[in-house]
Structure 1
Amino acid sequence: METHVPRVNPEENEDPGAAAYGNFINYYTFNPPENRLSLIPETLLENIRLRSVSGERVLMLDVGCNSGDLSVALYKHLLQEEASGCDFPKRKLYLLGFDLDQDLIHRAQNSNPFPQNIQFIPLDITDDAKSQAVLESYLGSFGCPRFHLCTCFAVTMWVHLNHGDATFLSLLSRLASLCEYLLLEAQPWKCYRSAARRLRKLGRSDFDHFKTLEIRGDMAAHAREHLEKQCSMELMQSFGNTTWDRSLLLFRRR
């Protein structure tokens, strides 16, 4: 499937708003869920299960879920192994996905095939007070202190470009505080340059922080250094690179 994906970047969408925040309306047409799922083992839940203190429940958070296609596909992907007959009881997986774009969330809600186990809500992760209250309320409804797994696919760059170095690091710290396991895909620096060129091409001013960012270069390495040195997390495994040459890194709370 991956070899037949058209080499067109959805981030060339002529919507200036999407170019600024990454909320591309047809993102999964060009970067289908399989591009990531092919790298993520179906047995991932088995590892998470060993650290679960909530019985059969596993809670998952998808940060920046767009229209929910990848969220739903990952939900089904992670349950395949259990459905095939493992030697431990079947887990109940609950997923909360959020995005700052209410139109994308409306799409996700309308196409959600598992409304009893998957919820989609509009939320901005950089709104610390509101996002903390909403996420704590969700966790509290399950009696859990944090999510068992948090996924953050191709979100860090947009926070970094729009809010700067401090918020980029703060985002990583927030994600680490929310979960036992973090599956992170950080866009490489070449994507930053492309995003800045695209914004200028659309006649918009450059990103406020692009020229003053001090955190540059190997963004996955920067993220790993902060998570390991400042957030009490450790890199468990790299699942390799997607077809867009972005690494998928799985971290675990120490």
Structure 2
Amino acid sequence: MSTLLEQAVQAHGGIDNWAKFRSVSAELDIGGAVWPLKGLPDMFQGIELAASLQRQHVGITSKGAAWRGTFTPDVVRIDSPDGHIEERHAPRESYQGHTHLSPWDRLHGLYFTGYALWTYLTIPFLYTQPGFQTEELSEWHENGEVWRRLKVTFPDSIASHGREQMSYFGEDGLLRRHDYTVDVMGGAQGANYASNYHTVRGIVVPMSRHIYAYDDARQKIDEPLLVSIDFRSIDFHTE
């Protein structure tokens, strides 16, 4: 583990504390310009989440819209109260030929949201798992701060935006920004800003994430706000 990753893990609550937990639950709202563009406005407003921390398994429930979705890398499924079931195997294959403008159905939206939330809720501890490769790069100046940058290469076994991603950590060791290209959107770029940190059972987590595009110099493009993620509650569980 790199020195930067060690410091980041410690700042977010420590690996020993993290290892106590098996699952996470949350209440949250997801918005932003991406969803109307994809034809799914408000699909993830007012949702509840229950996820495993040991494997990529996420349940998402919308009480208002009366559906429950399940994400795994291999299968996504949406169940409705009337017994209607939507299901897709090998869901990543369904994005072939997509660009950032391609419309999505609900299963597209669920797969993307499932892997994204699971990734966000497990960083930086995720990077300590077998198969991840990390490399510290040069410092970055933004918002009047100096951030240390960690390039992370994901193993093929983890569903995420893309294999190479970048995390920026402040002097306090907390995540400030997370960059990636989104394979399922034809390589669209995202700069994901983490803020509003709370401590939950000893784990330090950002309650807000705002995602923007960035230019060739990695400078944030302020408009539009592509995705907003605002957690109303998060809790970690030992079972």
Which bin holds the TM-score, normalised by the shorter protein?
A: 0.3 to 0.5
Indicate the structure with greater helix content. 1
Q: Structure with the greater relative contact order (CA < 8 A, sep ≥ 6): 1 or 2? A: 2
Q: Calculate the TM-score normalised by the size of structure 1.
A: 0.36
